Structure 1
Amino acid sequence: MFNNYAQGLTMMTPSSAAAEKLRKDIHSGHYKIGQRLANEHELASTFGVNRGTIRKALKILQEERLIARRQGHGTFVTNPTYAQPSGTAVSLLGAMSWEKEYYFGDILSEAFLRSISRGYMLTTTLNTTSDIESRNAEALMKSGIQGLIISPKPHSIGTYRRFTEAGIPVVMLDSMLPNVDEDFVSVNDRMGAYMATRHLIELGHTRIGYVGNENFRNDFPCGPDRLEGFNIACMRHNIEVPQNWYVQSDSRVESDYLPKLRNLLGQLNRPTAIVAFGDSWAVRIVQIARELGLKVPRDLSVTGFDNSELSRTNFIPLTTVSPEPDEVGKTIIDLLIERIENPRPRPKRSILITPRLVVRESTAKPS
């Protein structure tokens, strides 16, 4: 069947021809929004080509945003502009975040899958700057979304008001707007930092420092909560932390905080363990410790936060805190759909997901 179709596409490569056939099936409504495609092996068999050809074809459609792929879950039709649902109305949900890779990527992927299972379709956009947010908010509004998830920036108050005044439910992700009472879902950052600190204490560490950027309140609103979790754990276990063992920066420029970090780790009376704000900071701490001749974890134990790919692939895999992105993604979709399907007024809800400590090779008992 496919070979006959491909005869009319002699100028195309096999992968382009396969992509064109799938594209026509999506445009015609043969595939519904949210429908899972057959796996690569089945598609290759159907089209009479190898899996490599199908993989290239799917990559073409993914770049066109006609499909979305997630390892271990499958390939789904996603584009609401072209993928007609064969006469079945599909309710669209929107999500806005200031990044979609490092932290929010896994959350949004799970949210997407959850929305499909609930009969909705989630489309994601960025709100990195005020201009970007304004353009994307306009696009979401025109698409007729039924509800909005937003990880707000300081400039997001206008977008929030625009959607709520239009009667569109909004749920906040990861942070709240000042003086706004709204439904909210996040990991419990305070608990996560407490868990990491307690882990070090239970290993026998009493000389513990903290490295982070709690002053980036606009970019990282979780910073103060993580710092507070660290302080609470130390206080409850009667551990005093010298003020110069807190390395914090008001800048993302490494030259502003690396000298402080090198000075801390170069002291004779230095910490034997450090709790880092995030995995990227923890990786940098391990690198600097190595430059100074310190062995991790023999001379210095280090914990991160986020359970990112960095924590898993670092040359010394990091003990870290998982924000449980799958649970966050499921919870926020369920909360938003509840608002859509049960619009009766009720008190706003704040849901904090319990994080999980992931112990790897960067922590050990003090030597």
Structure 2
Amino acid sequence: MKLEPGVAVPLTAPQSQLYEVGGSLTLKALFGLNKYLDIGPSVTLLQLPAEAELTQPGVAWTFGGGVRLKRPHDAPGGSEGSFAISPWAEADALYVRTGVLNRPGFAVAAGLSLPIGETRMFWAGPFVRYLHIIQRHRAGYDNHDAKLLSVGVSLEIGPGREREPIAAAEVRTITQETISCPDRDKDGVPDNVDRCPNVAGPMESWGCPEYKKVVIKRDKLELKEKLYFAWNQATLEEASFPVLDEVAQALKDNPDFRVQIEGHTDSSGAEDHNQTLSEKRAETVLDYLVAHGVAKERLVSKGFSSSVPLDTNNTVTGRENNRRVEFVVNFNILNDGSTK
């Protein structure tokens, strides 16, 4: 859907002699035939104030449809900036109603659209539209075609850019060499492949147990649920306890894991305050895990303030994603079956 408010200017007589600069509003529904070409209906209202007090304002309605040629909205480039600009051009065939007259017409337009936000659902930018109303010969009427120009801002909402597909889980073929390696936990996953060699788990999760709220990745523990703190404080809320209880269990199941607990904030507020807050939140999580049976020497905490964002800090959702605690894992896989 596209909405185009603008300023309308009559270009030729008699309209330019009878009317002043007015306004226009165009609404279009566009359906993509492919990445470059859209089609759809449109409706436009123009109103021009009269120069003389006794003259009625000039009002025109147009109905029709046409095509738009554009640079694809999912073209490579940043979500903001010149590389994401989408130039476009349109042409419409129109039925025009002015007063008691029904007339044919056409319009051509061009503009630039820039995305608002990373999803590219919202676009905005300048446009210029030329409207030509064809006047067939009628006795008692001025038989010149009417020509008007509209300039304004085009506002568009659409489905947005397709998200990057989630990479398929990495699959490692177990060769005869890996099969001959030790398998401490007897789960069928050799120790030189098993990320959790001390506790049984399926090959699909690299030999680690399948926890409900925690996923063991190659380099970190990934939480399926967020941790919640009191607003602008380092106090954990009760909603975080079940997640951290499972983190503690995962660490107790895997004594080879050494974890760095990292606190991150968004960019709101002063940098020194954000640094202190991120450090204290990471320390709070460390203290919780120690209190629930994880050896303190296996843990270290660090605050990063807003220096490592996951998302934009320009939206509410982006800032929420950036406020987080991460668990970075270091561990050794032993091939000789010995334990630390």
- TM-score tier, shorter chain, comes to under 0.3
User: Greater Rg, structure 1 or structure 2?
Assistant: 2
Task: Return the structure number with greater helix share.
Answer: 1
Task: Return the structure number with greater strand share.
Answer: 2
Length-normalised TM-score, structure 1? 0.24
Length-normalised TM-score, structure 2? 0.26
Q: Point out which structure has higher relative CO (alpha carbons under 8 A, 6+ apart).
A: 1
